[in-house]
Amino acid sequence: MLDNRPKLAHCATNAIKNKPTARRFADSLPQLWMPEVFKYAPFSWLASLFALREIMNWPDYQWLNQDAKLSVAFVPQHCLDLQSLCYESFIATHSKVPTRQHNWHDFFNALIWRQFPLSKSALNRLHMADIKAHGTLQRTPRRNRITHFDECGVLLVYSDPVIAQLLKDHQWLEAFWQHRSSWGKQVQALIFGHANYEMLLNPYIGLTGKWLGIQVPACYFDWPQWEQLRWVDQHLQHRLAQENCLGEKGVLSPLPLLGVPGWWSDNQQADFYRNSDYFMPKRK
């Protein structure tokens, strides 16, 4: 779990009481490649997919682009800087994702592309539809929601809707503690927003993602990881493209990330979930 990991350079190992300012938070992130972080959930999910604990230095573009089936390629940031296109238009035009080297934020974004290629492409098409209709200067409410989900989204995958409803109702103790044995068997949190991974490098009390629910068959939890991801990616793409699930306000619900069982050692005690400043009751 995150706060049991060895001390990382420039990376706090315990939660702090309040969210740091953007500048201080950016300064607190590790600048070096740290393979040891992938021992701990939720980073261990990535390690089991991409063998990251075996990599001793920052992965290069050849490593990022080794998935020949991916519809996009990862290219240096200067490819975007040399053109007048915005980020989303560049991806749509060239099927290439500008990616900064030795940068956790962009590295995690690349790994999300490799896990959810259909859904990431669907998000890009939604961006482009609104850009064509309204231009790049006027961001639509839907584009704001798309960006929020792309940065901070979590996929709540469940076979039993009871826990999903408890989370939606902010019944945190019941969802995280009383149903603790169901996590990994009937419900699972998959990080979709790459900024979540970046912020979990230096976690703090208050760290919260926004979840979108996807109901799965009960046998889903017996499938191999990549089979799970393909199923979720296909269904998420359908919801994004056909149901316009981010078109309306209120579809995303908050998920206190340090409350997910296995992601933070302090949540092994029920009292952790009684901190109402973090696990806020639902507004009436």
Q: Report residue 248's pLDDT band, with 50, 70 and 90 as the boundaries.
A: confident
Instruction: Report, in angstroms and rounded to the nearest whole number, the Rg of the chain calculated over CA atoms.
Output: 19
Q: How far is CA 54 from the centre of its chain?
A: 22
Q: Are 118 and 234 in contact (CB under 8 A)?
A: yes
Cα–Cα distance list, 212 to 54, 128, 154 (Å)? 32, 22, 6
Q: Place 7 in a pLDDT band, splitting at 50, 70 and 90.
A: very low
State pTM to two decimals: 0.91
Chain CA centroid to CA 182, Å: 21
Identify residue 1 by its one-letter amino acid code.
M
What are the residue ranges spanned by the domains of the chain? 2-274
Helix (H, G, I), strand (E, B) or coil at 271: helix
pLDDT tops 50 at residue 13: no
Residue 121 has pLDDT above 50, yes or no: yes
Peptide bond preceding 6: is omega within 30 degrees of 0, i.e. cis? Answer: no
- Give dist(CA 186, CA 157) in Å, integer: 8
Query: What pLDDT, on the 0 to 100 scale, is given for residue 153?
Result: 98
Closest by Cα among 128, 60, 44, 55 to 94: 128
Q: Which residue has the tokens 């109402």?
A: 276
Here the tokens at position 241 are 């493209």
pLDDT digits (tens, 9 = 90+) for 250-259: 899 999 999 9
Closest CA to 93 of 125, 68, 52: 125
Cα first-last separation, the chain: 34
Q: Is the pLDDT of residue 134 over 90?
A: yes
> With pLDDT > 70 as the criterion, what percentage of the chain qualifies?
90
- Model confidence at 10, pLDDT cuts 50, 70, 90, reads very low
Strands (DSSP E) along 174-265, which ranges? 187-191, 208-215, 253-256
